[in-house]
Amino acid sequence: MEPIQNGQPKILVAGASGHLGRRVLEILSELGYTNFVGASRAPSKLQAFTDAGIEIRRADFDEPESLRSAFEGIERLLLISTDELHTPGARVRQHINAINAAKAAGIKHIVYTSMPKPEHATAIPFAPDHVATEEALKASHIEFTSLRVSWYAENLLGFLPQIIAAGKWPTIAGNGRIAYVAREDVAQVTASALLKAHGKAYWDITGAESLTIQEVAAIASKLFEKHIDVVQVDDSEIAEELVSIGIQPNFAPTVIMTDLNTRAGNFDMHNDLVRQVTGRDPVTLKIFFTKHRNLFLTDQKI
């Protein structure tokens, strides 16, 4: 993206203490943009940005009053979907609180982080949250850009190290395809949407290639110099198989729902949006694996 000139609208990045929010703040700063604010329910987590002269506000999606204060004077908002996945209805309520506060504050554009084909992703428990939030955005009459982000390549760090160590990949994804996308590419597109997007639109953000599990395993096998045997198993056996190779029992459901959504074709998306928006090719899995080689071989997380 080109460096930003002065006289741009005031931007607020909500959820700025998370991985994506932090990176978007950094990108805005790197571009020379100064008219932006970071917000979090725990501002102390963003002390480094405060020390760098970036304004940080407190915004708790469960406290509408805090949102009214945080959104004052803001024209463009990044609404990163919250991590409240355990209490039914809580996430949608939080998002609607933010949308209502944005409307009251006169915010002109909201950029929201959604997922691919949420209306069809019946295997993903939180997909209905995205559907409801997108409906609330449409009903608000505020311009918005819904970023329908394919699964992060970083998600592979939750289970691929164990697969590499075992040399075995149990799956129920069949021949379904998934276009893993690096968080850095998502952050770059998100920053661009905050700066330039207008109207009402849905942006599908995908990785460089849409791959089967067998193709992902082949790339990993070559780069990590460890043969990985992909084994298609029955739906009733997948949880036990995943745990048997060392995947944490509490993470196995994440792998399973990803497989099911992949098998259903809902992750089989590939476009050149990253290149169109950023001017550079998206990170391939080969490059991602190479960059984070040690993490995949040591069970560490990023």
Closest CA to 92 of 78, 109, 74, 79: 79
pLDDT digits (tens, 9 = 90+) for 134-191: 999 999 999 999 999 999 999 999 999 999 999 999 999 999 999 999 999 999 999 9
Strand partners, 171: 232
Q: Which CATH superfamily is domain 11-149 in?
A: NAD(P)-binding Rossmann-like Domain (3.40.50.720)
- Mean pLDDT value across residues 276-286: 95
CATH topology identical between 11-149 and 152-180+208-268+280-302: no
pLDDT in tens, 32-87: 999 999 999 999 999 999 999 999 999 999 999 999 999 999 999 999 999 887 78
The ranges assigned to domains in the chain are 11-149, 152-180+208-268+280-302
229-276 pLDDT per residue, tens: 999 999 999 999 999 999 999 999 999 999 999 999 999 998 999 999
Q: Whose CA is closest to 283, among 94, 137, 152?
A: 152
CB count within 10 Å of CB 120 equals 14
* pTM for this predicted structure: 0.94
Confidence (pLDDT) at 88: 83
159 contact partners, CB below 8 Å, separation of at least 6: 242, 247, 251, 254, 255
One-letter amino acid of 115: M
Backbone phi, then psi, for 61, in 5-degree steps? -65, -10
Please check the confidence at residue 126 and state whether its pLDDT lies above 90: yes
Tell which residue, 158, 181, 149, has the closest CA to residue 81: 149
Q: Residue 137's closest CA among 99, 167, 190? A: 99
| Termini Cα distance of the chain | 26
The CATH number corresponding to 152-180+208-268+280-302 among 3.90.25.10, 3.30.930.10, 3.40.190.90, 3.40.50.300 equals 3.90.25.10
